[in-house]
Every structure is written in structure tokens, then in C-alpha cells.
Amino acid sequence: MKPALAYGLLGLPLAMAALPVYVHAPTYYAGQLGMALSTTGWVLFGARLIDTVQDPWLGYLIDRRAGRLSGWMLCAGLLLAISFAGLWLAPVQGSALIMWLVVMLIGIYTAHSMLNIAYLAWGARLGDQAVLLHAAAWREGAGLIGVVLASIVPGYLMAGQQVEQGMAWYALAFALLLALGIVALLYRSLPWLGGGEKQSWREPLANLAFRRLLLPYFLNAVSVAIPATLALFYIRDRIAAPQLSGAFLAAYFVAAALGLPLWVRLAKKIGTAKAWRLGMILAVLAFAGAALLSAGDVAAYAVVCILAGLALGADLALPPVLLAGLISPLHSPASYYGIWTLLGKLALALSGLALPLLAWGGYQPGVAGQGGLSLALTYAALPCAIKLLAMWRLNLVIRQQATLKGFAP
């Protein structure tokens, strides 16, 4: 097995436990298990908020254990596999279901953070900028395969007659992929080149270039998380094509995977930050018309999915590489990525509030004509506005950091 491939494999199961969980959990618990939509949204928000505060601390612990991560990652993998299975195989009903969802989500988020922060920090210490972009392409490519699988398979299983049995097999397959990814990373991957000096988790905030990058990254993450949370609702109740949900999601993520080599090549040519900015522009152009779509606009929405998917490739691959270029060789990277993933999780937490917002706007899942305009505006127009703010802030960063590697004009 090639070292770069061995590094990238873990991206597949980690991606399966990230955005797809956020996409499918609301519809699964509200549609299959009968939990109220607004309650599901508040649970998603609360669980993410509780989990978010621990990431800088986890990054600090990982820095302290650099080079001795086998036990850490194996324990985290076990917790993630158990929590992932528990999310889809809830043994309780009624009010107890709310607490069960909270506990399983926190378990998934915590274990995912333990693995993901170490994984990203590992990737930041693999070599020069070209090596980082190559490794990021493998990681995000494998991740997009995981996202495609996790986007299509649960929806197919939930539409069947034996949902619980199907989700049990799905959880088992996830556990096997997770075990393969961890073993490949620990024993067949590119080595972690150095660890830098140990530091407080707050020390990265003293890095001015890092602080400047946080706001555009956070705003962009919110703009991606909102439509991800609402995609299945939009496809079912705005486009009126729930039978094509898997196809739309597959088109979105396959387009992202196919676009990865293009973004890597473009970043090498014009700079990582400028390539990311072009990705933002493409995303706004793709989503701008989605607010105007209505029932039956299947072909037009397919085009939106493909273009937005291409833009997603830039959002996934380029920001972590951009961050890696800002970390001093004298500093350990996990503390940086702890703060980085904190913002990503906060963005997902805020996207969960879109569900109570839709309920306030009169939207009712599965009820024709109830809050359709509110759904369209929240799904498409709001993310475009936030993405434009992110792009404006990134433009300022590019000008301010023009002399730094990765930001060269």
C-alpha cells in the first residue's frame, strides 16, 4: 500500500461520521422515530455546542502525545464505532429518545474529534507545500467517497422494510472501515515529521496570521453547513423529488471528488488562498438560483448540485493546507487544529438552528405549501449571503498576508 494512500484511507470513515450524520439524523429521528422537528434541531445544536468547547483541549493533549498516538486512536475508534451504531439503533422511545440522541451525538463528536484533530495535525507535518496538497487530495478524496456512501446508503435503508436490520449492517460496515483506516495510518502511512515544541492550547491565538484566517473559515463553514442540514428537506418539499435524494447527493459529492485534482493544480499555480476564493465564487453562483426553483425543477437542481459540489472540493482540500502553511516549525500543529475544528463544529451547531427557524417560518416537513418559500430562502439565499461575507474577509486576509507563504498575490 502506498504511504499517501495509507494516510488518506482514514478520511473515508471519518467523513461518514461527519456531515452525513448531520444530514440524516434530523430526518431519521423526526421521520422514522417520531421526534418533533424543532426538538431535533435544538438537540443537534446543544450536542454540538457541548462538544465544541473540548476541541482545543484535545488538541493540546494530542500535542503532548505526539509520536505515541496508537492507544489514543484505537480508544477513540472504539468509542466512535459504538456511538455510531447506537445513533441508528436506539433501544428507547418517547422522552428517553431525546437523551439517547444527545449521548450518542456527544459520543460520536468526541471520538471523531480525538481522531480528526490528530489526523489533520499528522497531515500538517508530512513535508513541504506540494506534499501537503498531495496528501490533502488523498484525504479529501477518500473522505468524499465516504460522504457519498453515507449519503446514499442510509437513505436507501430507511426507505426499506427492515430499517433496523439494515442500519445494523451499515454500522458494522462503518466499524470495519474505521478499523482499516486507523491501522493503515498507524502502520503504513507517511511518518509524522517532527512535533515542534509543546505549548499551551491558547498559544496559537498569538499567531496573528492564524487569527486573521479564523473568521473567513468560520463564515464559510456556516455557509456550507446550512444547506447540508436542509438538503433532504429541500429536495423532498421544494423540488418534490424525494426519490432522487440519493442521486442528487451523489452528484454533489462525486463532483467534489472529481474537482479535487483541479483545485490542487490551481492552488499550486495561483496560491492556496486565491484558489479557495475562486471556489467560494463558484459556490455563490451555483446556489444563487436555487432559491427560485420549485417543484419539478429536477434538471436545474442537478446542475446546482454539480456546480456546488465542484466548489465543495475547494472548501474541503484547501483551508487545512492554508493553515498548515501558517504553523511555525517550532510549534506543534494539533493545538491549531483543535481551535480550527472547534469553529467547524460551531458552524454545524449554528446550522442546526435553521430547523427551529424553518418551524417559525411556517414550514412543516411533508406538508405541501407550508413554508416552502422560507425553506428555499434558508437553504439557498442565506448561505450565499454568508459565503459572500467569508469571501470579503478572505480578500482582506490575502491583502494583509501577501508576504506569507500560501497567500502570495
User: Which whole-number Å values give the CA distances from 6 to 71, 72, 138, in the listed order?
Assistant: 18, 18, 9
pLDDT in tens, 136-151: 778 888 888 887 788 7
How many angstroms separate the Cα of 167 from the Cα of each of 45, 84, 176?
Answer: 24, 10, 14
The C-alpha atoms of residue 267 and residue 24 are separated, in whole angstroms, by 33
CATH number 1.10.3720.10 is the correct assignment for the domain at 3-190+199-400: no
The three-point CA angle 312-314-318 to 5° equals 135
**What pLDDT is attached to residue 368?**
57
Q: Which amino acid is at 304?
A: V
CA separation for the pair 276, 270 (Å, rounded) = 10
pLDDT in tens, 326-356: 887 777 788 888 888 888 878 877 887 787 7
| 197 strand-pairing partners | 331
Task: Name beta bridge partners: 331.
Answer: 197
Burial of 87 (0-12, 13-18, 19+ CB in 10 A): buried
At 84 the pLDDT is: 94
Q: Identify whether the C-beta of residue 248 lies closer than 8 Å to the C-beta of residue 301.
A: yes
Q: C-alpha grid cell for residue 35?
A: 421526534
Rounded to whole angstroms, how far apart are CA atoms 104 and 299? 37
pLDDT of residue 406: 45
Give the separation between CA 190 and CA 352, rounded to whole angstroms.
37
CA distance 202 to 199: 8
Say if residue 32 is exposed, middle or buried (CB neighbours under 10 Å; 0-12, 13-18, 19+): middle
Q: Per the structure block, which three cell numbers stand in for 154?
A: 442510509
| DSSP state letters, 47-102 | HHHHHHTTHHHHHHHHHHTTT--HHHHHHHHHHHHHHHHHHHS----THHHHHHHH
* Closest-CA residue to 136 (of 152, 124, 153): 124
Domains of the chain, by residue range, sit at 3-190+199-400
Give dist(CA 41, CA 405) in Å, integer. 41
**3-class DSSP state of 261:** helix
Cα–Cα distances in angstroms (integers) from residue 268 to residues 5, 136, 137, in the given order: 21, 13, 13
Instruction: Give the sign of the dihedral formed by CA 87, CA 91, CA 97, CA 99.
Output: negative
Burial-class residue 257 by CB neighbours within 10 Å (0-12, 13-18, 19+): buried
Which three cell numbers mark 144?
468524499
- Residues of the chain short of pLDDT 50, as ranges, are 404-406, 408-409
Q: How many CB atoms lie within 10 A of CB 404?
A: 15
Looking at residue 221, its pLDDT comes to 94
Q: Do residues 122 and 185 lie in contact, with contact meaning Cβ atoms separated by under 8 Å?
A: yes
